Amino acid sequence: MKKRKFYPRQVAKSLTGKSPESLTFGERAALRFFKMKGRKMGVGIQIAQTELADLKSSGPKESAAILDNANSRILMTIR
């Protein structure tokens, strides 16, 4: 039997309430994963106090820098 190293619901719960600038490399990868495929798993992401227009018009590195500089928290909802 294959052992999983990534349990989506547990990881989503651990990311809730954290500040984007305090995330480790693995947590950033998990956040990126949930941004791309979270809806399929019933996970919604909301990052407060950021301008959506700035995030949509910027690339991945620039959007990560915007999130790091913003005073925001991650809110994840799990269905």
Beta bridge pairs of residue 44: 77
Residue range 22-77, pLDDT digits in tens: 888 988 888 888 888 888 878 888 776 655 666 677 788 887 777 777 666 777 77
Buried/exposed code over 14-28 (b: 16+ C-beta within 10 A; e: otherwise): ebeebebeebeeebe
Tokens of 63: 């959007």
d(CA 29, CA 54): 21
pLDDT at 23: 85
d(CA 61, CA 66): 9
d(CA 39, CA 51): 21
Please tell me the pTM assigned to this model: 0.60
